[in-house]
Structures are given as C-alpha cells and as structure tokens.
C-alpha cells in the first residue's frame, strides 16, 4: 500500500518497517522530498561555493621503487593533515571494482520484498543487514540512502548468508583490497617508528565489513544528504566512489591547495581510484597524529545509474542508433532511386501523350496559328524538358538523414526530407496535373502561363511568382 508522503508515521512504516527503502518511495513517482528527509540549513552544503580537493592520487606502485620514501611521505602527510587520500595502481583489478558497482545495482534493483528479508530482526544472519538511514528510530532528519552491510567472519559464512546478487564479488573485493590495506598500514606505522609483525596484522586491522550504499534519484537533492556528517570507527576505510561524486570532507587545518580549516571540501571521483580515510581507532593509536576527519555524502545530482544500459545484443544506445542510422541511410537512398525511376517513366509517358495530343487537337484552318494551341504545345515541350532535367537531378541526389531519433524505428523519411528530390517530385506533380488538365479540358480552361514549370533545379519558386 502506498504511503501518505505528508504523514511522518506512514512514510516511516513504508520505508523502514516494511523494508521498501528510499528507492521504494522514488519508484512510486515521488515529486518532492518528504519532511522527514529535509536537513536543517546548517547541515546543507552550497555545492556551488564549495572547493575541491585537487591533489593528484598517490601511485602505490612506486612503493616498490626508488621513490619509496617520497610516496611514504605523501601518504603520511595526507593522513596527518586531511585524513583522506586517493590511490591508484593499488592492485585491486578494475574489473573487480566495476563488478562491485554492477552487483550493488543488481541487489538494490530487486523488488522490495527480496531485499526486506535482510532487515534487522528477520535477516538469516546477524552479520547481514539491509536498511535505510543510520539510526532512523532516533534521527530527526533521515538520510537519503539505502544500504546493505555485510560483516566478514569466514568465507563459508559469507557464501552462505550474504545476498546472492553480490556475495561473490563483494568477497573478491574484500580480499583484493585487504592486501592494499595491510601495505598502507605498514607505511603509516613505519612513520611512527613501529614495525608490525605479520602474525598480528589481522588483529590489528580488526573487523572487516563491506557496506554498499545506494543513493536513489532525489527530486530535491539540495535539501537532503546521502550520509550525514560522521567519522569512521575503525582503522582504515576503503571507499569505492561512483562517477557522480558528492563526498565532502571537513578540513582540520588550512591547506594551500586543498581548503581552509572548517570548510567542507569535495573529494572528486577519479576513475579507477580508491579513497582511503583514517578511522577513529587509528587516530587514537597514533596519539592524534593521524586525523579521523568528519565527512558526509551529499546528493550532487538527480542520478541513480552508473553504467550505460545495454540492449539484448549488448549495444549501447549510441551504438544502436549508429547502426540504425546507417541502415536507414541505405534504405532511404534505395527508396529515393526507385521513386525517381518510377516518376521518370510515368512523366515521360504522360509528356509524350500530351505532346502528341497538343498537335492533334482539332483547330480547323487556324491550327498552326492559334495562340492557345501554341501554348499547349509549348507547355508540353517544357514537360519533356523538365522530365530530362529532373531525371538527371535525381541521379545526383545525396541522401542526408538528420541525426535525430525521429528516424529510429518504423518512421520512413518522406521526399520532403531531401531538398532536391522534393523539388523534382513537386515539379513533376505540377507538370502531370497541368498536362492532364490541358489535354482533357482543352479550350474550356484558360491556362495561366505563370503555372508553367519554371521551378527546375534547386531553386523552387513560389506559385505567386
């Protein structure tokens, strides 16, 4: 049953208790953000005035080369001053990252009842939870997100209890990123003068959790937040950001090429990069040297999908249109040539009959000098000339389909879509009509010479000329 979006209890029951989530509201055609999701003014970010953290990502592959010390310095400085940094060449395959995004969309794209089985209290495992917002029972303003959280205990439990749509790829992502986390922690501890024993690394890292957050389309994104301001409790967080962006970090101090203290600065998405942020535990263990910065996710656009939709032949919309455009170009040109040939044959026949008729209409002794008969003969001769000219023009017509979707599907271009052929066809039609009138009605109709075929070629004059 659809909720009453103006009733707070109705919205809460539909979204939280029944497990429909924010996406369930959006799928009903929501036109404005419900009151429960509107953030107070001091929690909103003016994205037009916000600055961007434009420092380049850190290349982790250089840790194995002569620039090891320089890269260690970059990692430590970012952890000390910002608490966030982006890394590339992290040895997590790009294919895995893209698969994680696709798996997340597959999970959240399911019917609500299939996701609702993982709600708190009914989930088959206490380590798997599907929900919305952070603590919806306590929050004054809810977050515009749905999420699924999967705590890792063992491979066996993950494969048994994690959602089928994402369990395998989430497990692969967790394992691939775990080795990168170990390396970064070794670097950060090295700067503190601490050497970590391999046997104690897992205990040092602590709990491993895979969280997938989904931010549905929002009718009023400036009024909401995807994730409210917070800091992470663990050692390190590895964040795979989508191409939409919207991640903002609060600056702890003035940094020349990043932002001023107290400002919220956006961490822009970089294809193939991963974002690392320091957690509360690491800040405590480093005695405050490394910063666990506040951050939040803001709805930056009314978007939901990340990848291009494909048809059954795995073609994108652009590829499909290009293929159809080429086919239509070919078919239209063949149609035009057939039409030109048919019109030419018909026009030659009619013009021949008209020319002969003009010389056989009874006129008595004045047949050779009668002005009206001379006019018939002149126009018939012009018919023949026009047929020859229009045939020649038709052979040289270049078909030019407009690149717009109005030519996709069963829409067949008309002759008026091709300027030269349109002129030829119109002129031929005028000629045929004139010949029929002049031969059938004879002396009963006064022919206006201004309607004779002077419209040959590319210059099509008006009938008022």
Same domain, 47 and 86: yes
Shared domain check, 325 and 279: no
Angle at 322 between CA 318 and CA 328, to 5 degrees: 140
What is the tally of structural domains in the chain?
2
- Tell me, yes or no, whether 308 lies in a domain: no
- Buried b or exposed e, range 111-138, using 16+ CB within 10 angstroms: ebeebbebbeeebeeebbbbbbbeeeee
CA distances to 22, 43, 49, 134, 226 from 40, rounded to whole Å, are 19, 6, 18, 17, 14
Residue 420 is predicted with a pLDDT of: 43
What is the reported pLDDT for 428? Answer: 43
432: number of Cβ within 10 Å: 17
Instruction: Extract the residue ranges of the chain whose pLDDT is less than 50.
Output: 300-322, 324, 351, 354-355, 361, 363-367, 384-465
**Is there a single domain that holds both residue 135 and residue 224?**
yes
Residue 13 counted as domain residue: yes
In angstroms, rounded to a whole number, what is the distance separating the alpha carbons of residues 165 and 106? Answer: 6
Residue 425, C-beta contacts closer than 8 angstroms, at least 6 positions apart = 339, 343, 415
Q: Is residue 311 part of a domain?
A: no
* DSSP three-state, residue 295: strand
Assigned domain for 461 exists: no
- Bridge partners, residue 274, by sequence: 87
Residues 274 and 341 grouped into a single domain = no
pLDDT of residue 206: 83
* 103 and 32, same domain (yes or no): yes
Same domain? For 363 and 293 the reply is no
Same-domain check for residues 251 and 324: no
Q: Is residue 305 part of a domain?
A: no
- CATH number of 177's domain: 2.60.120.330
266, 335: one domain: no
Domain that holds residue 397: 317-451
Determine, yes or no, domain membership for 306: no
pLDDT at position 341: 57
pLDDT for the residue 2: 80
pLDDT at site 448: 37
User: Does 53 reside within a domain?
Assistant: yes
Are 273 and 384 found together in one domain? no
Q: Residue 174, CB half-sphere, CA atoms under 13 Å: how many?
A: 21
- For residues 238 and 326, state if they share a domain: no
Measured CA to CA, the distance from residue 54 to residue 261 in angstroms comes to 16
Q: What is the strand order of the sheet 146-152 is part of?
A: 128-132, 146-152, 208-214
Same domain, residue pair 209 and 263: yes
Q: What is the pLDDT of residue 346?
A: 52
- Sheet containing 84-88: which strands, arranged edge to edge? 58-59, 84-88, 274-278, 236-239
Residue 309 lies in a domain: no
> Residue 238's beta-bridge partner residues?
276
Q: Which two tokens stand for residue 391?
A: 């045939």
pTM over 0.95: no
Provide the CB-side half-sphere exposure for 35 (13 A, CA): 7
The bridge status of strand 295-297 relative to strand 208-214 is unpaired
Scored b (16 or more CB within 10 A) or e, 239-270 reads bbbbebbbbbbbbbeebeebbeeebbbbbebb
Give the model's pLDDT for residue 331. 63
Tokens in use for 276?
């690392």
Q: Which helix (H) or strand (E) holds 424?
A: helix 419-440
Q: Are residues 236 and 330 in the same domain?
A: no
Give the list of residues 6+ apart from residue 219 with CB closer than 8 angstroms, or none.
30, 31, 32, 33, 302
């Amino acid at each position: 049953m659809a909720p009453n979006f103006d009733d707070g209890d109705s919205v809460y029951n539909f979204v939280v208790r029944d497990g429909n989530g924010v996406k369930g509201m959006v799928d009903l055609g929501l036109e404005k953000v419900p009151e429960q999701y509107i953030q107070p003014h001091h929690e909103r970010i003016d994205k037009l005035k916000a600055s961007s953290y434009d420092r380049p990502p850190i290349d982790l592959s250089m840790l194995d080369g002569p620039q090891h010390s320089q890269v260690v310095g970059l990692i430590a400085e970012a952890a000390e001053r910002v608490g966030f940094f982006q890394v590339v060449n992290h040895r997590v395959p790009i294919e895995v990252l893209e698969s994680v995004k696709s798996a997340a969309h597959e999970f959240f794209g399911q019917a609500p009842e299939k996701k609702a089985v993982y709600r708190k209290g009914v989930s088959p495992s206490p380590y798997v939870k599907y929900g919305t917002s952070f603590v919806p029972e306590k929050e004054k303003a809810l977050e515009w997100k749905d999420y699924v959280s999967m705590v890792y205990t063992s491979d066996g439990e993950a494969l048994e209890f994690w959602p089928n749509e994402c369990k395998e790829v989430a497990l692969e992502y967790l394992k691939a990123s775990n080795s990168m986390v170990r390396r970064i922690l070794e670097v950060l501890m090295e700067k503190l003068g601490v050497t970590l024993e391999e046997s104690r690394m897992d205990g040092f890292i602590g709990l491993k959790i895979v969280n997938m957050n989904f931010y549905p389309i929002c009718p009023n994104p400036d009024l909401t937040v995807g994730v409210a301001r917070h800091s992470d409790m663990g050692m390190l967080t590895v964040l795979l950001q989508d191409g939409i962006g919207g991640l903002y970090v609060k600056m702890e101090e003035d940094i020349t090429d990043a932002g001023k203290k107290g400002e919220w600065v956006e961490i822009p998405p970089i294809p193939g990069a991963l974002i690392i942020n320091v957690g509360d535990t690491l800040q405590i263990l480093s005695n405050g040297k490394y910063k666990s910065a506040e951050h939040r996710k803001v709805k930056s656009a009314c978007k939901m999908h990340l990848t291009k939709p494909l048809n059954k032949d795995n073609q994108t919309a652009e590829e499909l249109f290009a293929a159809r455009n080429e086919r239509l170009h070919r078919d239209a040109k063949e149609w035009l040539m057939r039409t030109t040939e048919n019109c030419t044959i018909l026009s030659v026949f009619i013009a021949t009959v008209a020319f002969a008729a003009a010389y056989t209409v009874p006129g008595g002794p004045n047949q050779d000098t009668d002005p009206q008969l001379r006019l018939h003969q002149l126009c018939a001769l012009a018919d023949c000339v026009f047929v020859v000219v229009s045939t020649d023009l038709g052979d040289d017509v270049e078909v030019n389909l407009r690149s717009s979707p109005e030519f996709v599907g069963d829409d067949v271009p008309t002759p008026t879509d091709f300027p030269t052929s349109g002129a030829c066809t119109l002129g031929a039609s005028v000629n045929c009509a004139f010949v029929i009138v002049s031969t059938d009605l004879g002396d009963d109709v006064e022919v206006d010479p201004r309607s004779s075929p002077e419209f040959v070629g590319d210059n099509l004059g008006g009938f008022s000329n």
